[in-house]
Amino acid sequence: MTWTRHRPKALSWVLLLAFVLVIGFTIARYVGGEVAVQNDVLGLVLRLAVLVVVVLAYLRTGGSTTASKDGLVVHNGLRATEVPAALVRNIDEDARRGGAVAMLTTGEAVELPGVPATDVRQVRRALKGR
């Protein structure tokens, strides 16, 4: 069974606008002759850092969770993590986010993107193979 956390359209538009503004400001600044690129290394690095943060924020808002009798495949928007069923101790509700987390035998908690708190039972059933 698979659950997907979709990116909100409003967030997509805001991040696209931020991306365009940073690129536009950078181009206008260098084409206008205000500052030479060689003299503005720190400014260029900071603008690139802002763009990286914007892209990472966008990617992080998505994600998916797949549950089967073999275990969980959790994609947090940046990378996929496979968790074997033997490592999953319990699936609990996460009241802070209104979702679910997998408690592992190692003591770690893995957020399950896209899984609402109401579907915790379905995740448990999928892990048991029902």
What are the domain boundaries of the chain? 3-61, 64-128
- The pTM score is 0.70
Instruction: Quote the strand ranges of 1-130, DSSP E.
Output: 2-5, 63-68, 71-75, 80-84, 88-94, 99-104, 109-116
pLDDT at res. 57: 82
Q: Could you say which residues of the chain have pLDDT below 50?
A: none
Beta-sheet strand order (sheet of 80-84): 2-5, 63-68, 71-75, 80-84
Q: Per the structure block, which two tokens stand in for 8?
A: 């909100």
One-letter amino acid at 50 equals V
